[in-house]
Amino acid sequence: MSERAPHQRHPSAAAGVHPAADRITLRGVTATGFHGVYPDEKRDGQRFVVDAVLHLDLAPAAASDDVVDTVHYGELADELVAAIERDPVDLIETLAERLAAVCLAREGVHRVELTVHKPEAPIAVPFGDVSVTVDRAAAPTRAVVALGANLGARAAALTDAVAAMAALPGTRVVAVSRWHDSIAVTETGPDPSKPGYLNGVALLDTALAPTHLLHHLLRIEREHGRDRGAHVERWADRTLDLDLIAYGDVTRDDPRLTLPHPRAHERDFVLAPWLDIDPDARIAGRGRVAELLAELRGGTR
Ligand SMILES: Nc1ncnc2c1ncn2[C@@H]1O[C@H](COP(=O)(O)OP(=O)(O)OP(=O)(O)O)[C@@H](O)[C@H]1O
Ligand SMILES: Nc1nc2c(c(=O)[nH]1)N=C(CO)CN2
């Protein structure tokens, strides 16, 4: 009965992570440090100058106009200075690695190009500057997205949504389930009188922060005609629904983004397609998806 997803494994899986063009550039952050191979350098200290190019998705901040959705460059500059001023190392390579880690610790930064200049280095001949640059990427996080539609061209909407997720910055689609037919579940239980759903699950590896990923999922829903008007009842019929089921092992209780999704563990239409593509799947705090589904189907819900 089920319509098939076009690919069990999405073609973008082979294409690698998409380069994101967005970046924040902070240059010339200067502080005194005591790094160097020679005892004089450890005793007297000297200026170190840092340039950082942070690669992160800037669309959520541009949409919200809220600094919490991006990297606050003033705070980052303070952190870089503190990292220059702390315990001395011999090499600017070591310092650059430390400073790159400071940048990658910021939510949403998926790549950093970081340069350390040492303009007063002990070089015997006249010179302009000496610097090292490291280029480091954040390890991507495995995210689980549930897809659903019960209005319009359902399979096309789900397939388009997978393509839209594959095009997100720093994101690749690792696997997509087949599409499962399911009865619409409403607040009062399954309702066969409503249009039936097609449901599926996609696994992504993404460098996007969880809130940034959700921002894009909601955008993709809107682009597929999802009606979120004030008149729309809870769990109303919909052209496309994208839920972020899990983001690594992250747990958070914010109503704007709760992780893992608070109702995923009780939904056959999430657990069954998820199991298609990850037999070992677990929901943090709930247990193995295979067991949750067996319990649900055994009626012990
Ligand atoms: N893990 C999550 N995934 C998706 N949306 C979430 C999540 N946690 C909180 N939300 C918030 O829930 C809001 C409403 O989402 P949505 O309209 O998709 O709910 P729903 O699909 O009707 O119900 P349900 O969340 O039970 O599937 C979103 O705008 C989003 O901010
Ligand atoms: N069968 C089915 N029922 C639902 C679904 C869904 O995706 N499939 N989504 C809902 C709200 O997200 C509400 N009910």
Q: pLDDT per residue over 128-159, tens digit each?
A: 999 999 999 998 999 999 999 999 999 999 99
Q: What is the pLDDT of residues 211-255, one digit of tens each?
A: 999 999 999 999 988 666 666 666 677 899 999 999 999 999 999
Quick check: helix, strand or coil at residue 15?
coil
If you take atom 11 of ligand 2, which residue's CA is the nearest one? 235
Q: What is the pLDDT of residues 36-67, one digit of tens each?
A: 999 999 999 999 999 999 999 898 899 999 99
pLDDT band for 3, please (50, 70, 90 cuts): very low
pLDDT band for 21, please (50, 70, 90 cuts): confident
CATH code that applies to domain 8-17+140-297: 3.30.70.560
Task: Spell out the domain ranges in the chain.
Answer: 8-17+140-297, 23-137
Do the domains at 8-17+140-297 and 23-137 have one common CATH topology?
Answer: no
118 is catalytic: yes
Better-predicted residue by pLDDT, 209 or 247 = 247
Question: Ligand 1, from 258, 266, 268: best to mutate by most atoms within 8 Å of Cβ?
Answer: 258
Q: Does the structure show a pLDDT above 90 at 25?
A: yes
Measured CA to CA, the distance from residue 138 to residue 20 in angstroms comes to 13
Taking every pair of C-alpha atoms in the chain, what is the biggest distance, in angstroms?
Answer: 85
Q: Does the structure show a pLDDT above 70 at 9?
A: no
Q: Does the structure show a pLDDT above 60 at 84?
A: yes
| Nearest ligand 2 atom to alpha carbon 241 | 12
- What is the share, in percent, of the chain residues with pLDDT greater than 90? 80
Number of other CB atoms surrounding residue 168 within 10 Å: 23
**ipTM here:** 0.91
If you take atom 15 of ligand 1, which residue's CA is the nearest one? 243
Measured CA to CA, the distance from residue 205 to residue 183 in angstroms comes to 30
pLDDT band for 170, please (50, 70, 90 cuts): confident
Query: What is the assigned CATH class of domain 23-137?
Result: alpha beta
Per-residue confidence (pLDDT) for residue 245, from 0 to 100: 98
pLDDT band for 19, please (50, 70, 90 cuts): very low
Average pLDDT along the chain: 90
Going from the Cα of 244 to the center of ligand 1, the distance in angstroms, rounded, reads 8
Of 98, 106, 110, 118, which is the active-site residue?
A: 118
Measured CA to CA, the distance from residue 251 to residue 207 in angstroms comes to 17
Q: Alpha helix locations (H) across the chain?
A: 39-44, 59-64, 73-85, 92-104, 154-166, 210-223, 268-277, 289-297
